[in-house]
Chains A and B, each alone.
Chain A
């Protein structure tokens, strides 16, 4: 399953300027995308398995890399740890 808006936001966050804005004011960026309350919560809580079911794996990994999550932590979380 693909959540278009979530995937679009992850795609857009590859732009350094938007990534910097996201880091400074996440809610302001989130407000520009048509995200369900569940997806917004999953982003705020770094719920990797929930988001993994809704977007491309490469985009998911880019997002968490760009927001500073180490690969080991990403792997632990995606495996439900």
Chain B
């Protein structure tokens, strides 16, 4: 049977590529160190597959059809379509259809109803952390896109439940695989809004603290705070998926730093 290799989370943001050279040196060194440390932890966990839990920044879905959750079941995914991600070295990213279909089927059995795609584009949300972590060996990537971009979005409680379901489904997969979860996005940032550029470090630090508290307390806090903490903060849903998969135990913070140059409160974590 497959085993759960661990859960990890990383912020992302276009300016982590486009403005990389403009980031003040001390912050850039911390970011590099955090990405590499997260990569070291992922490597140490020896995942054959990572379920990459990320939003779709309009790379795949439009208002024609924007699913709450979509699982990629294809043989491969396409690399990031954004022109400024051209230097990303992987244009075709190997997936694991058999595991992906197992996750899909187990989800449906449990009353969860994700959509599926046989060909997804993995945008900067997934690819920036994979890139910056500098993994020596890229695991297969099963994409799980969770809507945190276009309201209405899945509830926070549902995202936690998704994580628990993923864990159960991974551990019931009849194959000798180690499967980890990489959640991407958050913490606070605001994109395309009047508040664009705002980082709420107080909110970010309290959110980080509450990941070590009870789930109801964490969810209550986020439900109250998210509407006023910038639209990018909604991506914390993906962290909740990872949290649920890790059994709700608190994570070890690799680093947190607000980086005004990239307009993101940048957080990096691995679950215990």
Contact = CB atoms under 8 A, between A and B. Distances in A.
B202 interface: no
B197 A58 contact: no
Contacts of A62: 58, 192
Given A16-B83, A75-B197, A57 B192 contact: yes
Given A14-B81, A16-B83, A58-B57, A8 B192 contact: no
Contact of A78 (B59, B193, B231): B193
Interface in A9-56: 11, 14, 16, 52, 56
16 contacts: A4-B63, A7-B63, A8-B62, A8-B64, A11-B63, A16-B83, A52-B193, A56-B149, A57-B191, A57-B192, A57-B231, A58-B149, A58-B192, A62-B58, A71-B196, A75-B196
Interface in B55-95: 57-59, 62-64, 81, 83
A37 B197 CA distance: 31
Interface of B: 57-59, 62-64, 81, 83, 149-150, 191-194, 196-197, 231
The DSSP consensus for interface residues of chain B is loop
Contacts, number: 50
B194 A79 contact: yes
Contacts of B194: 52, 78-79
Contacts of A14: 58-59, 81
A46 to B, nearest CB: 14
Given A8-B64, A74-B192, A78-B192, 8 more contacts: A11-B62, A52-B194, A56-B149, A57-B231, A58-B231, A59-B192, A61-B196, A74-B196
A14 B124 CA distance: 14
A72 to B, nearest CB: 9
